[in-house]
Structure formats: C-alpha cells, structure tokens
Amino acid sequence: MLLKQQAQQESAAKGAKARKPGVYANRDPALNWKDVAWFCSNTTIPIVLKGVQCGEDAVLAAKAGVAAILVSNHGGRNMDTARSSIEALPEIISMLTEAGLRSKLEVWLDGGIRRGSDVVKALALGANACGIGKPAMYGMSCYGAAGITKCVEILKREMVQTMQLCGTPRFDLLSPSLV
C-alpha cells in the first residue's frame, strides 16, 4: 500500500494525468508521432505500428520511419460505427501513394480474414501481407497443430482458386480493378 501511494505521489508530482482502469490503462496518453520517430531512430529493430485506420496516420507513420503498419481495428467491428480494416485499406494506400511514401513501408492487414479470397482481395487493394487469426484458432482448437496446418492448406488452395478465377497467375499482377 505504501509503495502504491508513493508511486501515485511521484506520478502526480510529474504532472501525469490519472488513468482509468481498463484496456488502455497502461498506455501513455502523451505518446505522439515524435515518440514513434524517436523509437525508430534509436533501434535497429524494425518498428511495426498496429492499429492504423486512416490515411493521415499512415502518412505520419511513414514519415516517422516505421518499417510497416498494420491496418487493424483491434476488434472495433464489435462497435456500431467502426469500419473494417479492408474498408480502410484503399484510403491508406491512396494517401501513401499521393504523398510519395508507399515504397517507404510495408502495409499489412488483419481483421476479417476468413478465406483465401479475403487474402487475395487485400493484396489486390495494396496490402503486402495479411494476418490470420480466427481461422487458425478454430483449426487449433479442433485439431491442435495439425488444425493450423490444415487451415493454411485450405487458405492456400482458396487463394490459388481465387486467382485462377480472376485470370491472374501471380500476386504482382493483382490490382484494385479485380475487387
């Protein structure tokens, strides 16, 4: 109890705002783009910034020097008005391209990827890679490690089939016009 009081007093003395308990209780509300740039310039580890949902933030991330952004809404589709990651992707790619920064970082996407056709759609819209969550978890929960392997095999087969139906033999030939 004494340590907690001391920590609270030190925090108050530094002018820190009180934080409410919850998901973001440990997030510093003062974190900003200068901090992101500082992290990038003070490490050789590539920085991947998760949770980018708009083109403006993607441009700021590229200017800050991150290696990649992860277009993700942290389960935000459970809220009434949050847009999906795939809906945010075209704006992000467009604004990065207009700013001449598209080649400065990779754009990854997660959230809502359930089938191989979802992966192909994201790649066609400009993503470099996709994160797969629920399909892999479902496979693992039913069949363990073999279920994850089966999930990847199914996704790969669906991706190949989708690309064949689009008449596109290679990933680098995918384009937004196919979506």
DSSP 91-159: HHHHHHHHTT-GGGSEEEEESS--SHHHHHHHHHTT-SEEE--HHHHHHHHHHTHHHHHHHHHHHHHHH
Q: Which of 63, 74, 115, 150 is catalytic?
A: 74
For the record, the structure tokens of 87 come out as: 């809906």
Query: How far, in Å, CA of 52 to CA of 92, rounded?
Result: 9
- Residue 74 annotated in active site: yes
CA nearest to 176, candidates 105, 70, 94, 57 = 94
Q: Is 72 exposed, middle or buried (0-12, 13-18, 19+ CB in 10 A)?
A: buried
Catalytic residues: 74
